[in-house]
Amino acid sequence: MTMACPGCVAVPLEREIAPTASDIVLHLPDIHCAACIATVEDGLGALSGVRDVRVNLTQKRAFVSAAAGTDADRLIAALAGLGHRAQVLDGNTLAGQGAAGQDLLMRIGVAGFAMMNVMLLSVAVWSGAADTTRHVFHLIAAAIALPAVAFSARPFFASAFRALSVGRLNMDVPIALAIGLSAAVSLAGALGVSDRASWFDAALALTFFLLIGRYLDHLGRHAAKSAAADLAALASPQAILVQGGRDSVVRADVLVPGDVIRVTPGSRIPADGVILEGRTELDCAALTGETRPDLRSVGQDVAAGEMNLTAPLLVRCTRAGTDTTLRRLSDLIASAEMQKSRYAGLADRAARLYAPAVHLLGLLAFFGWWWASLDAGRALEVAISVLVITCPCALGLAVPAVSTVTTARLFRLGLLVKSRTALERLSEVDEVVFDKTGTLTTGVPVLENLPSDAHLALAAGLAVGSSHPLSRAISAAAGLRSLTPVVVRDVQEIAGCGVTASLDGQPVRLGRPAWVAPGVAAPDASEVWLQRGEGAQAVFRFAEALRPEAAACITALRADGIRVALLSGDAPEAVARIADGLDFDEVQARMTPEGKVAWLQARAAAGRRVLMVGDGLNDTGALAVAHASLAPSTALDAARSLADVVLLSDSLMPVREALAQSRKARSRMGQNMALALGYNLISVPLALAGLATPLIAAIAMSTSSLTVSANAMRPSK
Amino acid sequence: MNVLVFLIPVSVTLGLLGLGGFVWTLRSRQYEDPEGDRERILDDRWDDTPKP
Q: Count CB pairs under 8 A between chains A and B.
A: 71
Shortest CA distance to A397 belongs to which of A348, A438, A467, A347? A347
pLDDT of residue A339: 55
Categorize the per-residue pLDDT at A31 as very low, low, confident or very high, splitting at 50, 70 and 90.
confident
Give the model's confidence band at A229: pLDDT under 50 very low, under 70 low, under 90 confident, else very high.
Answer: low
pLDDT value at A344 more than 70: no
**Mean pLDDT (whole number) for A90-102:** 63
The kind and range of the H/E element at A679 are helix A653-688
pLDDT surpasses 50 at A10: no
Cβ-count burial A67-93 (b if 16+ within 10 Å, e if not): eeebebeebbebbeeeebebbbbbbeb
3-state secondary structure of A166: coil
pLDDT at A186 > cutoff 80? yes
Q: Say yes or no to pLDDT of A183 above 60.
A: yes
Other beta carbons within 10 angstroms of residue A184's beta carbon come to 15
Tell me how close the Cα of B42 comes to any Cα of chain A, in angstroms: 6
pLDDT 10s digits, A261-279: 888 777 778 788 888 888 8
The predicted-structure confidence for A106-132, as pLDDT tens digits, reads as follows 999 999 999 888 888 888 887 877 778
Tallying the residues shown for chain A, one arrives at 717
A42 touches chain B (CB under 8 A): yes
Q: Which of A235-239, A249-253, A279-283 has the lowest mean pLDDT?
A: A235-239
Helix A653-688 / helix A376-390 crossing angle, nearest 10 deg: 160
- What distance in Å separates the CA atoms of residue A558 and residue A566, rounded to the nearest whole number? 13
Find the CB nearest B12 among A42, A110, A117.
A117
What's the rounded Cα separation, in Å, for the pair A170 and A251?
Answer: 42
Q: Which of A455-459, A466-470, A540-544 has the lowest mean pLDDT?
A: A466-470
CB contact under 8 A, A37 and B15: no
Write the secondary structure of A286-299 as one string of H (helix), E (strand) and C (coil).
HHHCCCCCEEECCC
**Which pLDDT band holds residue A147 (cuts at 50, 70, 90)?**
very high
Mean pLDDT for chain A?
79
Mean pLDDT of A420-441: 85
- Give the distance from CA A131 to its chain's centroid: 58
Q: Are A211 and A111 in contact (CB under 8 A)?
A: yes
Of the candidates A10, A37, A113, the beta carbon closest to that of B19 is on: A113
Give the closest-approach CA distance of A120 to chain B in angstroms: 10
Q: State mean pLDDT over A394-406.
A: 81
At CB < 8 A and 24+ separation, what contacts does A28-32 make? A28/A55, A28/A60, A28/A61, A28/A62, A28/A79, A28/A84, A28/A85, A28/A86, A29/A60, A29/A85, A29/A87, A29/A633, A29/A648, A30/A84, A30/A85, A31/A55, A31/A57, A31/A60, A31/A84, A32/A57
Q: Give the Cβ contact number of residue A606 at 10 Å.
A: 9
Q: What is the pTM of this model?
A: 0.70
| CA distances from residue A554 to A411, A500, A646, A656 in whole angstroms, order as listed | 21, 43, 18, 8
Element (H, E) at A636: none
Residue A571: pLDDT band by 50, 70, 90 thresholds?
Answer: confident
Mutate which of B13, B26, B42, B45 to disrupt the A interface (most A C-beta within 10 Å)?
B26
For residue range A582-607, list pLDDT tens digits in order.
888 888 888 887 888 889 889 888 98
Contact A117 B11 (CB under 8 A): yes
pLDDT of residue A531: 84
Does residue A130 belong to the interface with chain B, where contact is any CB pair within 8 Å?
Answer: no
